[in-house]
Structure 1
Amino acid sequence: MLARAVRIFEAFSPGETTLSVSEIARRAELHISTTSRLVAELTGHGLLSRGPGRTVQIGLRLWELGLRASPTLSLRQVALPFLKDLTNLVGHHAQLSVLEGMDILFLERLSAPDAVVNLSRVAGRMPATATAPGVLLLAHADPERQEEALGRPLPTYTRRTIGDPDRLRSALAEARRNGFVTSPGWVENPACGLAVPVRDVDGAPVAALSVIVPNDDRVFGFLPALRAAAMEIGLVLRRAHAEPTR
């Protein structure tokens, strides 16, 4: 029952938050009658809700519970003022993300008007190997996860996306050496990502702070501000961790 409910929730994506019961059944690989019964039960608990035209969407109760329990909530709250400053500085996008399996998961994204194209979405995922924050965090992940990434097919968006294991291995080594990653044209040719790590109390990268800006020679000019913001976020997190519990 629980596994089937999870498959129903996973049928929704950041870009498709309203689905028909038949589409949920198809994506969850469940019989339509089973799907209808589970959707009715989950709706009764507020975890799903009915949308227009007999469609279904994520319920407010699920959002409430997920937000209350999320270990990333304090990280996002701490980072938000710095993301606003970075967005104003670069005039495009600033985002915060974490590594989740073989994906990069975006916790927050702020965008300026008329910003360059950017496919990331809040609560959305992209293949880690195809993004600057993903390669950055993967470079500091355990060796087993790195080898898993190197052994998998590498999804590509453009001809510039990392598409072979040798290039990925070199990119991971370069990320560890430089402490930042750029992704010129990896996802969209006109755009370039620039990512640096946010470090926890032990100095380990727990998230990536990044900007998406035009793919030109101005990219590296944003690196000092990005590093300073990431360092400040880490300092706030460390101070919060050191404060005694009342």
Structure 2
Amino acid sequence: MAGNSSSPGATVASRVLAILGAFDEHHRRLTLTELAARAGLPVPTADRLVGELAAWGALVRTPAGDYVVGRRMWDLGLLAPVQTGLRELASPYLHDLYGATLATVHLAVRDGAEVLYVDRLAGHASVPVVSSVGSRLPMHATGVGKVLLAHAPASVRTEVLANLTRVTPYTVTQPGLLRRQLATVLRHDHATTTEEMSLGACSIAVPVRSGDGVVASLGIVVPSLKDRARLIGALHVAARGIGRALSASGRD
């Protein structure tokens, strides 16, 4: 259960964090009772803390009576280095890539065993895209994720390979096949997927390098991979530009 802090001796800070941690991509609106249950807190305790969080602006009570994350949390999140550094420096190159491809463009980093989408530009083509800025998706089912997984520590790859879930009928869930795909990513310096995350959508992604390693992944979502060579070339040009900007800024 998200943010469980029902253990004896839990601090006020841990209880507040448990309430905030009760929200996720699938739980964007929660009633007080649901917040208390997901945070592992008695309802009266949750009520008091939620009231303080709402007064500060971290939570907002909707007309229906449930709670959503407040604008104050968004403002705070924008101060995180992944926002103020990588996203800011990469923005011009993402727009150049979008202009060259008219495809949906993704900039992502690894967050544990998941992909965290740092930025996204929506493309012209009518292609189903499930990502959004701030969302997390499984690494094994996305192009940007396969790039990041191929360059991740061995312990992360072991964890992901042990927990392969099926998102669509085309998602790779065989550990041996995924290992071979990751080896191909390292050999050819790009990754592709075909309807593994959403039906009707393909993706191509490349690593963004700065300093001594891969710090992010840059990808696009397209209806098909028929123009693969041109798209990979455009991705590498943009990724190299982002890497140079990061190195020059000292923010890698």
1:236 is the counterpart of 2:236: no
Alignment deviations for residues 84-115 of structure 1 (CA, whole Å, 9 cap, x no partner): 22223222300100000110000111113443
1:187–1:71 distance in 2 versus 1, CA, 3 Å: closer
Say how many residue pairs are matched: 240
Provide runs of 4+ in structure 1 moved above 6 Å.
none
Report 1:97-246 matches (<5 A).
97-150=108-161, 152-202=162-212, 204-241=213-250
Scaled by the length of structure 2, the TM-score of the pair is 0.87
| Farther-moved stretch of structure 1 (64-73 vs 169-178) | 64-73
Scaled by the length of structure 1, the TM-score of the pair is 0.89
Answer whether contact 1:14 1:123 (CA < 8 A) is retained: no
**Aligned counterparts of 1:10 and 1:87: Cα–Cα separation in 2:** 34
Task: Name the % identity.
Answer: 35
1:120 deviates by: 0.6
The residue type equivalent to 2:197 in the other structure is: V
| Farther-moved stretch of structure 1 (18-27 vs 216-225) | 18-27
Alignment deviations for residues 184-237 of structure 1 (CA, whole Å, 9 cap, x no partner): 1111231111110111122x1100000000124223430000000000111111
The residue type equivalent to 2:58 in the other structure is: L
The residue type equivalent to 1:37 in the other structure is: R
1:15 deviates by: 6.3
Alignment deviations for residues 29-71 of structure 1 (CA, whole Å, 9 cap, x no partner): 4333332222112123322222222222222222222222334
Answer whether contact 2:104 2:222 (CA < 8 A) is retained: yes
Unaligned runs of 5+ in 2: 1-11
Unaligned runs of 5+ in 1: none
**Aligned counterparts of 2:126 and 2:99: Cα–Cα separation in 1:** 11
Answer whether contact 2:125 2:222 (CA < 8 A) is retained: no
